Structure 1
Amino acid sequence: MTQDSQHGKWTISSSDDDEDLHRSNTTVTKPPRLTDSNHNSHKPDSISSSKQDKQAQETAAVVKTEPQLAPVGASSSTLVIGSDARQAAHASQLTPVKYESSPSFAGKRKKESDDSGWALSDSDDDDDDDDDDDRVKKENRSSVQQKVPAVKSSLSPKQKKPKVEKESRPPSPHGRVYYIDEPDDFFETSIPHLNDTYRLYLNKVTGLDRKYNSGALHIRDILSPLFGTLKESVQFNYCFDIAWMVQQYPPEFRDRPVLIVHGDKREAKARLIQQGQPFSHIRYCQAKLDIAFGTHHTKMMLLWYEEGFRVVIMTSNLIRADWYQKTQGMWISPLFRRLPAGSAASDGESSTFFKRDLLEYLASYRVPELSDWIQRIKEHDLSETRVYLIASTPGRYVGSDMERWGHLRLRKLLYDHTHPVPNEENWPVIGQFSSIGSMGLDKTKWLGGEFQRTLTTLGKSSLHPAPPIHLVYPTVEDVRTSLEGYPAGGSLPYSIQTAQKQLWLHSYFHRWKADTTGRSHAMPHIKIYMRTSPDFTELVWFLITSANLSKAAWGALEKNNTQVMVRSYELGVLYLPSAFNRTTFPVQKNQFPATASSDAFPVPIDLPPKHYSTGDQPWIWNIPYTNAPDTHGNIWVPS
């Protein structure tokens, strides 16, 4: 069915639970184009569930036409990977729409929330309120695909002739070619200085002042011989550009065996395997995704060297765009040495039980391709690790298994290994992420209920205060003025369909502001969660993870809180002061340029967070932005 809004007519098929995270990899063959749009708003048609299912399937059959397979060995300039938002970004980069005039998008609004700026649709029945029987029905529906037609200016060709003066258009830093080469000193040529205390790093960003890349790492640095003599590796991820990935390995390691762990099915799987046809050293392992709308979102490297073994847990996909001009983060383990012959599998354990938990996570895949790696890890000493593993793996869990995965795993660790603090109701929780799922008609449905209880757990206190929650998510202006310009929003797939159903969420939003770090121009794809003191100078815990703000990633309670359901694979590491013989972590205020190892924690966002001002709007990927050009002199018109 179709629905009109102030942003144009868009097509709905069915459940939108985290739909932005669950698009198949496709190849875009059409650039964004300008078309006519209707701006009137009306209530969507009411249809029965069975009729809606049938209509949704028919709609999906029309909208989700399978593209042709990409040519073998396609370069990253022609290969498009990821969500619809990323595809739109790629198309915009190939054939940008220059800022010439400002089409009018004025139209009638059905209903507005104070200072929201978004139209609120009347179809606000929350899927997440369903009981378990209804939830099963929901999972059997076709997935949602919303289509927001691009907008064409109502100005006649004669009216369009006056163009914006050149001096008023911000110059593109890249000229006609989107990607620019990194400078000669961009990659490490000597053993990099690593923060041995926390082992938390940002990625290098092309186009930033050199001091803001000090202490940061590129994927080529991580895979270089400086870190070890590589024998074999495993790459767990969501999006892959195989040809680009292979080029990041140094020439002497480029033919070493690589196992790709992915969640692609059917045509998407075929495309992934086709990408790797020129590379005989690459094998594949498909993660089981048995629950609808789940994804394999974990981002991890397992690196086996002649000298030992290393784990890298990160927030970047294995595509060039994610390592180019985005803010990403990673935890890099120490080099784990091999245990003496005859050691027990339980030897080499850390105080955080990282080895046990990593083995348990790998075993959850239930695939033979990982059996050799499970054995290798058993043979190594991981006792130096001082972080806790926080993982999600698909399934429905009851009893003690509920605390093994997702946000209940985080709650359990905070309960066991932290302590209450005075006036803890004033200690805010901060979350930063790059995508947002559907969370219900109001905060009590999930965010302000079970998830808030997890985030606010401190030790065994029976108190459950409701401290401030600051959610950091970029505004339209943040995206527009970024190094990438509007295409940076392709990695922020928050849709208008989801946003209109949860306007209440926007009151939590704070800007991606990095004025003191100088990294505000690199849009975030990093995901972090933490709890700080009221003056933002101390941390009681910090988490870097692949998990965005969604129930699919973190899990949701079912059956009167006796069961938790998790849809996706996710992975992150939790820092707790007790593992570092501290009561809190002091926050490092000036991270750049990086200096010697410090006891202060390198929080990768500015504190305190800055609340949205009047007029600030969260970035929504599938509506046009034509009122002002971005840093490349272009506008955003998703097709």
Structure 2
Amino acid sequence: MSQDSQHGKWCISSSDDDDDLPPSGAAPSKPHRSPNSGQGSHSSDSTPVSKLEPVTASAVVKSEPVPLVIGSEARQSAASNQLNPVKYESSPSLAGKRKNEVLDGPGWALSDSDDDHDAGEKGKSPPRKRSPSPKAKKAKVEERPPSPHGRFYYIDEPEDFYEASFPSLNDTYRFYLNKVTGLDKKYNTGALHIRDVLSPLFGTIKESVQFNYCFDLAWMVQQYPPEFRDRPVLIVHGDKREAKARLVQQTQPFPHIRLCQAKLDIAFGTHHTKMMLLWYEEGFRVIILTSNLIRADWYQKTQGMWMSPLFPRLPEGSSGASVGESPTFFKRDLLEYLESYRAPDLADWIQRIKEHDLSEARVYLIGSTPGRYVGSDMERWGHLRLRKLLYDHAQPISDGESWPVVGQFSSIGSMGLDKTKWLAGEFQRTLTTLGKSSLRPEPPIHLVYPSVDDVRTSLEGYPAGGSLPYSIQTAQKQLWLHSYFHRWKANATGRSHAMPHIKTYMRASPDFTQLAWFLITSANLSKAAWGALEKNNTQVMVRSYELGVLYLPSAFNMKTFPVDNKPFPVSSSSSGFPVPFDLPPTCYTAKDQPWIWNIPYSQAPDTHGNVWVPS
């Protein structure tokens, strides 16, 4: 089957049937291999993953410490390309040719060996080892915590990269970007690294909980200040079977770490929520973010977070679910989200939250938890939760039909054969809701997702695409979607060359100077994350755990949020919202193609002189 579009022609075998479901994570397990084997899970950051066990020393350069292999097949491919890069000059036309890949006009064709990609490892030909390029970079002998992405492109952070004094922050919105190694210092002023977040400058940690999708526990422990590294940590994860066993193995050197497995009772769901709960001697704090707990996610990617104020402890005898509530009912909703796990290990944390005053929270919590919901429960989770909040609390705008919706994400699920199947028929209605107006406009929708050239010219080069796991199998079924795509450009924040793992959604004025609302979340553009209606719209089914926070102007005594066009260096007096990319978005040209991780790119070198040859 082949399809042509302005964004290229791709061919895959006819055995790849149309299927709205993501690749199965429940396929029988197969022997795990090193990154160079090309074997892993067909997965995105928001779809099922079969996490691989650590590779053997023989699979990597001898001088390189054994890397911890974590994440989706796209991330595995990034690891392979970094551990064993293919230089552009070694074969400019078809460098590192594998699996009978051939050039076919402006696009790519995949051989029939890619049959039945949804059936686990069925039909895969034996893996081939890449012949090392004579000009491949040599690894440095150095001591670093094991990393899932190798270290060939790592450069040391400058001495002043981490905060030694209280950072200069704009606390109006409490929305922060991460620090990026390699950027001009001014673009990191007011941004936060995980070491800053866990710093004693923000409180004396007694215990913490880390909710996430990917974990490198040895690296995570090193991010806590030395005086906090033996404090109890609870890890909330979604791993099962072999992946869970490998996570258990990671905990062995750390007796202070306990594991809590999230229940994933619906196929193809993941535990994708990223949240920290920090219990201090001085109070309690919640951080909702987009970064996995692996070094690569805090290195040269654009990430974001909402950091709560320090919530004080309530007076003795006055604790409870409704005491210390905020105008946005943040406390109620956080407790409801935690209770949805049905996990005894979270009982103490639920009680601790009840004992604290969360009245200073000014954001609304939007979570997804796996299940099928009917009646009023349909509005508890996913995009129908967002729709309910926008209906109840957003302010109608007289010319609302001209206010575009902007969605920005790092992974894309299957949307269906045309836009009416989910995007326009369901999700668009949510994103365009503004108050109780009966008007149902259809404003423009701009979807921001990096192009191939955005990835190629990034700080990481092609391996940055390992965190943008849009597959050819999904893309070729929904070429209609690509007409919505806009480039990742973030010159105002200095992050144009730091590829996004952040996910944001917003409604902007026609001139992009005002926002009607803004959302930061772990949820990518997928039905698994946001939920999909079933049974003639009488039921909604959600597959995954996700979490984000919604900013509405009314909670900040504003009618709209002004956009801060130059958020760096940070000014504590700015009232503008620090949108993490440039507005207005830049539409793809006829020559632009969306980044697709599992096809090769060898016609132009990346910023490290290498080409992309997926494993």
TM-score past 0.5 threshold: yes
Deviation readout 1:449-506 (Å, 9 max, x if unpaired): 1100000001111111110000000000000000000000000000000000000000
- Who is 2:172 aligned against? 197
Does residue 386 (structure 1) correspond to residue 362 (structure 2)? The answer is yes
CA distance in 1: counterparts of 2:580 and 2:306, whole angstroms: 13
3-state SS of paired residue (1:523): coil
Structure 2 residue runs of 5 or longer lacking an equivalent are: 4-8, 39-48, 95-100, 112-117, 137-148
Q: Is the 8 A contact 1:32 1:638 kept in 2?
A: no
CA distance in 2: counterparts of 1:207 and 1:88, whole angstroms: 23
Cα distance change, pair 562–145 in 1 and its aligned pair in 2 (3 A):
farther
CA distance in 2: counterparts of 1:20 and 1:608, whole angstroms: 37
Cα distance change, pair 97–117 in 1 and its aligned pair in 2 (3 A):
closer
- Who is 2:21 aligned against? 17
3-state SS of paired residue (1:232): strand
Q: Is the 8 A contact 1:151 1:637 kept in 2?
A: no
Does residue 593 (structure 1) correspond to residue 569 (structure 2)? The answer is yes
Deviation at 1:95, TM superposition (A): 0.7
- Who is 1:506 aligned against? 482
- Who is 2:556 aligned against? 580
Q: Is the 8 A contact 1:456 1:467 kept in 2?
A: yes
Q: Is the 8 A contact 1:6 1:106 kept in 2?
A: no
3-state SS of paired residue (2:396): coil
CA distance in 1: counterparts of 2:598 and 2:389, whole angstroms: 38
- Who is 2:73 aligned against? 84
Does residue 321 (structure 1) correspond to residue 296 (structure 2)? The answer is yes
- Who is 2:531 aligned against? 555
Letter aligned with residue 261 of structure 1? V
Deviation at 1:514, TM superposition (A): 1.6
CA distance in 2: counterparts of 1:215 and 1:507, whole angstroms: 35
CA distance in 1: counterparts of 2:33 and 2:454, whole angstroms: 26
CA distance in 2: counterparts of 1:605 and 1:145, whole angstroms: 41
- Taking only aligned residues, the RMSD between alpha carbons, in angstroms, comes to 3.3
Does residue 435 (structure 1) correspond to residue 414 (structure 2)? The answer is no
CA distance in 2: counterparts of 1:147 and 1:214, whole angstroms: 48
Deviation readout 1:315-371 (Å, 9 max, x if unpaired): 000000000000000000000000000104011000000000000000000010000
- Who is 2:114 aligned against? none
Deviation readout 1:155-175 (Å, 9 max, x if unpaired): xxxxx99x99xxxxxxxxx99
- Who is 2:82 aligned against? 93
CA distance in 1: counterparts of 2:569 and 2:488, whole angstroms: 20
Q: Is the 8 A contact 2:10 2:476 kept in 1?
A: no
Cα distance change, pair 461–276 in 1 and its aligned pair in 2 (3 A):
same
Cα distance change, pair 488–592 in 1 and its aligned pair in 2 (3 A):
same
TM-score (ref. length: structure 2): 0.86
Percent of residue pairs bearing the same amino acid type: 75
- Who is 1:423 aligned against? 399
- Who is 2:183 aligned against? 208
CA distance in 1: counterparts of 2:492 and 2:470, whole angstroms: 27
Cα distance change, pair 20–317 in 1 and its aligned pair in 2 (3 A):
farther
The number of residue pairs the alignment matches comes to 566
Q: Is the 8 A contact 1:10 1:149 kept in 2?
A: no
Deviation at 1:413, TM superposition (A): 0.3
Deviation at 1:205, TM superposition (A): 0.3
Q: Mapping of 1:129-144 within 5 angstroms?
A: none
CA distance in 1: counterparts of 2:216 and 2:510, whole angstroms: 43
3-state SS of paired residue (1:31): helix
CA distance in 2: counterparts of 1:398 and 1:8, whole angstroms: 39
Does residue 467 (structure 1) correspond to residue 443 (structure 2)? The answer is yes
Does residue 31 (structure 1) correspond to residue 7 (structure 2)? The answer is no
Deviation at 1:17, TM superposition (A): 2.3
Deviation at 1:69, TM superposition (A): 5.6
3-state SS of paired residue (1:201): strand
Cα distance change, pair 283–146 in 1 and its aligned pair in 2 (3 A):
farther
Deviation readout 1:47-102 (Å, 9 max, x if unpaired): xxxxxxxxxxxxxxxxx999656689x99851110000001101111111111233
Letter aligned with residue 18 of structure 1? P
3-state SS of paired residue (2:260): strand
Q: Aligned to 1:340, which of 315, 321, 325?
A: 315
Structure 1 residue runs of 5 or longer lacking an equivalent are: 34-63, 110-115, 122-140, 154-159, 165-173
CA distance in 2: counterparts of 1:11 and 1:187, whole angstroms: 51
Cα distance change, pair 477–22 in 1 and its aligned pair in 2 (3 A):
farther
Q: Is the 8 A contact 1:76 1:241 kept in 2?
A: no
TM-score (ref. length: structure 1): 0.83
Cα distance change, pair 146–324 in 1 and its aligned pair in 2 (3 A):
farther
- Who is 2:596 aligned against? 620
CA distance in 1: counterparts of 2:20 and 2:128, whole angstroms: 24
CA distance in 2: counterparts of 1:390 and 1:250, whole angstroms: 31
